[in-house]
Amino acid sequence: EAGVTQFPSHSVIEKGQTVTLRCDPISGHDNLYWYRRVMGKEIKFLLHFVKESKQDESGMPNNRFLAERTGGTYSTLKVQPAELEDSGVYFCASSELGGSSYNEQFFGPGTRLTVL
């Protein structure tokens, strides 16, 4: 079974440009999460989708970030316009929906974003 995949693996853009990151969750996983790690700091939660709906977007840093999950399958995270402080590694994770116990989140390899 394929794991969580992310595209691209690396992206280098200039300040002010737009970048779109993509995440394909494990098939059948209705929960999808975005996290990011800026240089040397902890991995921080950005937002959580349940199917196509945003369940929690409390971690989104500002309105330059737009996440979508049309159709409840893959998700995109767009940064427009990108700033220097957006550089870091963006992780996506997915998990099953439902049940009374914790559903493990499976992480993708991340997209390394560098803003020059």
Interface with another protein by CB under 8 A: which residues?
A: 3-4, 31, 33, 35, 40-45, 48, 50, 55-56, 59, 91, 93, 95, 97-105, 107-110
Cβ-based nearer residue to another protein, 86 or 110? 110
Cβ-based nearer residue to another protein, 87 or 105? 105
DSSP letters along 44-92, please? EEEEEEETTEEEE-TT--STTEEEE-GGGS-EEEEESS--GGG-EEEEE
Compute the least distance from the CB of residue 75 to another protein, in Å: 15
- Residue 8: helix, strand or coil by DSSP? coil
Compute the least distance from the CB of residue 84 to another protein, in Å: 21
Count the residues in the chain. 116
Compute the least distance from the CB of residue 31 to another protein, in Å: 5
- CB burial readout 3-24, b (16+ within 10 A) else e: ebebeeeebebeeeeebebebb
Compute the least distance from the CB of residue 14 to another protein, in Å: 25
